[in-house]
Homo-oligomer: A and B are copies of this chain.
Amino acid sequence: MGRPPGSTRFAERQREVVAAAASAIARRGYHATTIDDLVEATGLTRGGLYHYIGSKHTLLLQIHQRFIDPLLAEAEEIEAAGLAPDATLERLAVALMETIARYRDEVTVFLHEWRTVEDDPGWEDVRAARRRFEDVIARVLERGVAEGVMVVPNVRLAVLGFLGMFNYSYQWLRAGGRATPREIAESFVAIFLRGVVAGSA
């Protein structure tokens, strides 16, 4: 303690604290996880906990930002590279699956608990970030259609199907499982891409 928020050391410790808290909440659920549980999970005092994460409520925002911010930045970088629609979708698929694998506890907490905070003012930013990520996927499909290489009757549903294939993996993905996140992503995106490619069956 004693270091000002904003310093590198503070940010590093905060990341560890948020990760430990996410792990505890992923196991028991947000409502059932008490401040004492968080104190135990993080090894901090109550004061230290408040110092690093503020309230239990803002913790949910931080947990979500931990993975959506880097994922969104990566997705927009991939889109800006201007590769063909299929190659772009492949790269987005790998980025998404590797994010889920790396931040599985955080993704679990988000998917299980977002309804708890969806009416909070701070949540508007989270919702906007998610919408921006979904819009990247939608634009790739729209570009594929515009270029005549994809057929997508309903882009909104196709985006939801794509997200489902990948996001649902938080249920079964295991560290050290048979396939790496990249291999899983490549397997899924191959099915999805053939499913939307123009001229297929």
Which of B29, B153, B157, B167 is the one whose CB lies under 8 Å from A168?
B167
Stretch at the interface among A11-19, A44-52, A60-68, A193-201: A193-201
Q: Is the CB of A28 within 8 A of B27?
A: no
| CB-based nearest B residue for A30 | B29
Stretch at the interface among A1-9, A71-79, A117-125, A183-191: A183-191
- Secondary structure at chain A's binding surface: helix, strand, loop or mixed? helix
With a cutoff of 8 Å between Cβ atoms, the chain B residues found around residue A161 in the complex are 165, 187-188, 191-192
How many A residues face the partner with a CB closer than 8 A?
39
Number of copies: 2
Q: Tell me whether A166 is interfacial, beta carbon within 8 Å.
A: yes
Q: Is the CB of B179 within 8 A of A169?
A: no
Q: How far is the CA of A171 from the CA of B195 in the complex (A)?
A: 23
Which of B157, B166, B191 is the one whose CB lies under 8 Å from A179?
B157
Q: Is the CB of B201 within 8 A of A111?
A: no
| CB-based nearest B residue for A191 | B195
Q: How far is the CA of A115 from the CA of B170 in the complex (A)?
A: 13
Q: How far is the CA of A111 from the CA of B164 in the complex (A)?
A: 14
Q: Is the CB of B195 within 8 A of A172?
A: no
A146-166 contacts to B (CB < 8 Å):
153-154, 157-158, 160-161, 163-166
Nearest-CB distance from A10 to chain B (Å)?
31
Q: Is the CB of B187 within 8 A of A154?
A: yes
Q: Is the CB of A172 within 8 A of B158?
A: no
Chain A residues close to B by CB (< 8 Å) = 27-32, 111-112, 115, 153-154, 157-158, 160-161, 163-169, 171-172, 179, 184, 187-188, 190-197, 199-201
